[in-house]
C-alpha cells in the first residue's frame, strides 16, 4: 500500500514580524519602550507605548509597523493589516511593512495578497532572504510547487543557517513527485542540523514513496528520537508497519531503537 502524499513541515513562516523605529525623541522613547515590553511578553503595555508614539508623531511609519506586530501577535489580523497599510502609506519604501502585512494576510487566508506583498518587499530589497522563503511557502500552500521551488532556490542562494529552507524545498519537490530531489534536500538539511525532526520525517516519507521501507523506518525512528511528542511521526510509523511486508518492518521495537 502506497502512502498518501503527506509531506509535513514543523514550521511555517520564517521569523516573527520585525520591529524598527526612529522619529522625534519622545516618540522614539515610547517606541523603544514598546519593543522592550513586547520582547518581555507584555503586549498590552507594548501596544500602549506604540499608540503613544503615534500620538506624539502621527507620521512615524515605524511605530505603525510596530503596532501592527503587536496586533498580529494578538490575533487581530485585520487591525495589524490596517496598521501596516498606514505605515506603507507614510513610507512606501518600507519593505518590512510589506513583509509583515504579508504574514497577517497569510494568517487570514489571503494568499494572493500575501504573495503580492512579499513581491513588493522584494522589489524594494532584492536580498530579502526570508521574503523569498515565505513567498515560497505561500506558493506551496497554493499548490504552486514550481514557483515555490524557484523562490526557495533564491532564498538558498542567500544562505540557510538552520536547514529549514532545504526542508521546505524538499517538501515542494516531494509533492511534485521528485522524490530523489526531495531526499537530496532533506539530506542537506540534516547535514546542517542532524537533530531536525522535520528533515527525518519528510525524508522517511519520500523513502517510503520510493519503496525504501527500511530507510523510511530508520528515519521515522530518528524523528521520534528527536521529537518524542511529535504525533505525526508515530502515526506515519504505524502506517508504514501496517503496509510493509518485510519481516524487519514488522518489528516495531526495532523500528524505534
Which tens digit of pLDDT belongs to each residue from 35-90?
A: 999 999 999 999 999 999 999 999 999 999 999 999 999 999 999 999 999 999 99
Question: What pLDDT does residue 257 have?
Answer: 45
Question: Residue 18 — pLDDT band, cuts 50, 70, 90?
Answer: low
Mean pLDDT, residues 102-120: 98
The answer to whether residues 218 and 244 touch, using CB atoms and an 8 Å cutoff, is: no
Mean pLDDT rounded to a whole number for the chain = 88
Segment 208-213 mean pLDDT: 92
Residues near 35 by beta carbon (within 8 Å), at least 6 away in sequence: 19, 21, 46, 66
Q: Please check whether residue 31 is in contact with residue 50, taking contact to mean a CB–CB distance below 8 angstroms.
A: yes
- Does 250 score more than 90 pLDDT? no
CA-CA distance, 86 to 167, in Å (whole number)? 35
More confident call, 241 vs 99: 99
Q: Please say whether the beta carbons of 206 and 179 come within 8 A.
A: yes
Residue 198 has pLDDT above 50, yes or no: yes
SS3 content of the chain, % helix, strand, coil (to 5): 70, 0, 30
Every domain of the chain and the residues it spans: 24-126
Mean pLDDT (whole number) for 113-123: 98
Instruction: With a cut of 80, say whether residue 14 has pLDDT above it.
Output: no
Closest CA to 122 of 158, 86, 149, 90: 158
Residue 232: count other Cβ atoms within 10 Å of its Cβ.
17
The confidence band for 229, taking pLDDT boundaries of 50, 70 and 90, is confident
pLDDT at 249: 60
Phi, psi of 110 (to 5 degrees): -85, 75
Instruction: Give the percent of the chain with pLDDT over 90.
Output: 75
What is the C-alpha to C-alpha distance for residues 119 and 98, in angstroms, rounded to an integer? Answer: 9
Q: Are 186 and 167 in contact (CB under 8 A)?
A: yes
Give pTM, 2 decimals. Answer: 0.84
pLDDT of residue 16: 55
Contact status, residue 106 vs residue 138, Cβ threshold 8 Å: yes
The CATH homologous superfamily for domain 24-126 is Tetratricopeptide repeat domain (1.25.40.10)
pLDDT digits (tens, 9 = 90+) for 137-175: 999 999 999 999 999 999 999 987 789 999 999 999 999
pLDDT band per the 50, 70, 90 thresholds, residue 125: very high
Would residue 21 be called left, alpha or beta, if left means φ above 0 and alpha means ψ between -120 and 50 degrees?
Answer: left
Contacts of 156 (CB under 8 A, 6+ apart): 165, 166, 169
Residue count of the chain:
257
Buried b (16+ CB within 10 A) or exposed e, 163-172: bbbbbbbbbb
At 250, which helix (H) or strand (E)?
helix 247-250
Give me the mean pLDDT over the 181-193 stretch.
Answer: 96
What pLDDT does 190 receive?
A: 96
Percent of the chain residues topping a pLDDT of 70:
85
pLDDT at 126 over 60: yes
> Alpha-carbon distance 229 to 10, whole Å?
12
The more confidently predicted of residues 60 and 248 is 60
What lies within 8 Å, CB to CB, of 231 at 6+ separation is none
Amino acid at each position: 500500500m502506497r502512502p498518501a502524499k503527506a509531506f509535513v513541515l514543523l514550521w511555517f513562516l520564517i521569523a516573527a514580524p520585525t520591529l524598527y523605529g526612529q522619529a522625534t525623541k519622545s516618540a522614539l522613547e515610547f517606541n523603544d519602550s514598546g519593543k522592550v515590553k513586547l520582547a518581555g511578553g507584555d503586549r498590552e503595555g507594548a501596544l500602549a507605548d506604540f499608540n503613544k508614539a503615534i500620538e506624539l508623531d502621527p507620521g512615524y511609519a515605524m511605530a505603525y509597523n510596530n503596532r501592527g506586530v503587536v496586533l498580529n501577535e494578538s490575533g487581530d489580523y485585520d487591525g495589524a493589516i490596517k496598521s501596516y497599510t498606514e505605515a506603507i502609506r507614510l513610507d512606501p519604501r518600507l519593505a518590512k511593512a510589506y513583509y509583515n502585512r504579508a504574514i497577517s494576510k497569510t494568517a487570514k487566508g489571503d494568499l494572493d495578497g500575501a504573495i503580492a506583498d512579499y513581491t513588493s518587499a522584494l522589489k524594494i530589497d532584492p536580498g530579502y532572504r526570508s521574503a523569498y522563503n515565505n513567498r515560497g511557502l505561500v506558493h506551496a500552500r497554493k499548490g504552486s510547487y514550481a514557483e515555490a521551488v524557484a523562490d526557495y532556490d533564491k532564498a538558498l542562494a542567500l544562505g540557510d543557517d538552520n536547514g529549514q529552507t532545504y526542508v521546505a524545498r524538499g517538501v515542494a519537490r516531494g509533492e511534485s513527485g521528485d522524490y530523489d530531489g526531495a531526499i537530496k534536500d532533506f539530506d542537506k538539511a540534516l547535514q546542517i542540523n542532524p537533530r531536525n525532526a522535520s528533515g527525518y520525517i519528510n525524508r522517511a516519507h519520500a523513502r517510503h514513496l520510493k519503496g525504501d521501507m527500511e530507510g523510511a523506518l530508520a528515519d521515522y525512528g530518528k524523528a521520534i528520537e528527536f521529537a518524542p511528542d511529535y504525533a505525526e511521526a508515530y502515526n506515519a510509523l504505524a502506517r508504514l508497519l501496517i503496509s510493509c511486508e518485510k519481516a524487519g518492518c514488522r518489528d516495531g521495537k526495532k523500528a524505534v531503537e
